[in-house]
Amino acid sequence: MTDLDLIEKKLAFIETCVRELQQLCQPERIPEDIREQRFAAHTLQIAIQAAQDIASHIVSDERLGEPETNHQLFDLLYRHGWISAEQVTMMHKMIGFRNTVVHGYQYFKPLILQDIVRHRLGDLLAFVAAIRRTMTSR
């Protein structure tokens, strides 16, 4: 059985990160301001990590399968009705961005970060809403 209190704390944490990005980040400064870049990138990183942790807990606790990658965590959530197909696609992209930040696979482009902050934060909130909706219906 999934630890709903733990999941709820992580969902609230994602909401806090999104709110901080909305209120404190200045996206127009991201292309030339390293502090703005780092604040935005690392706040997104920890929000995306929380989403990944949520997926991992649900997949494990609900015995949804044996994922071999972090992307597969979200595939399993979709397959078992926790999130939509659109959310799977977006979370795959978010995990890719997180990996770039964490592991330094390549230097991320500030304009991509700026676009995420300006236009994609709602995707994280949609993920939060989907998980909450599914938790309350089960």
DSSP letter assigned to residue 119: H
Q: What is the CATH number of the domain that holds 23?
A: 1.20.120.580
Residue 90: enclosing H or E segment and its boundaries? helix 85-103
Mean pLDDT of 110-133: 96
3-state DSSP of 58-85: HHHHCCCCCCCCHHHHHHHHHHCCCCCH
Tell me which residue range forms the domain holding 68: 4-137
Instruction: Give pLDDT tens digits for 53-85.
Output: 999 999 999 999 999 999 999 999 999 999 999
| CA separation for the pair 45, 67 (Å, rounded) | 21
Tally of structural domains, the chain: 1
Chain centroid to CA 23: 18
pTM: 0.93
Q: What are 50's two structure tokens?
A: 């929380």
